[in-house]
Amino acid sequence: MKKIAFLFPGQGSQSVGMGEEFYREYDMVREIFDMAEELTRINISKLCFKGPMEDLTMTVNLQPAVTAVNIACLAVIEKENIACDYSAGHSLGEYGALCTASVISREDTIRLVYRRGELMHREAGKQKGAMHAIVGLPIEAVSGLVAEAQQDGIVSVANHNMETQIVITGAPEAVEQVSTAAVAKGAKSIPLKVSGAWHSELIKGAEAEFKSYLDSVTFETPQKNTLFNVTAEPEKDPAAIRELMARQLCSPVRWYDIMNKLIQEEVEVFVEVGPGRVLAGLLKKTLPREYPGSIHNVSNMKQLEKFLKAF
Active site residues: 91, 199
Rounded alpha-carbon distances, angstroms, from residue 160 to 106, 131, 230, 309: 28, 13, 11, 33
Name the nearest CA neighbour of 84 among 64, 63, 95, 99.
Answer: 99
**Start-to-end Cα distance in the chain:** 11
Name the nearest CA neighbour of 103 among 111, 115, 95.
Answer: 95
Name the nearest CA neighbour of 9 among 68, 86, 75.
Answer: 68
d(CA 63, CA 148): 33
d(CA 283, CA 162): 8
d(CA 236, CA 240): 8
Name the nearest CA neighbour of 74 among 26, 139, 24.
Answer: 26
d(CA 176, CA 155): 10
Amino acid symbol at 160: H
Beta bridge partners of 298: 273
Amino acid symbol at 245: M
The phi and psi torsions of 39 (rounded to 5 degrees) equal -75, -35
Query: Which DSSP letter does residue 96 get?
Result: H
Peptide bond into 52 cis (omega under 30): yes
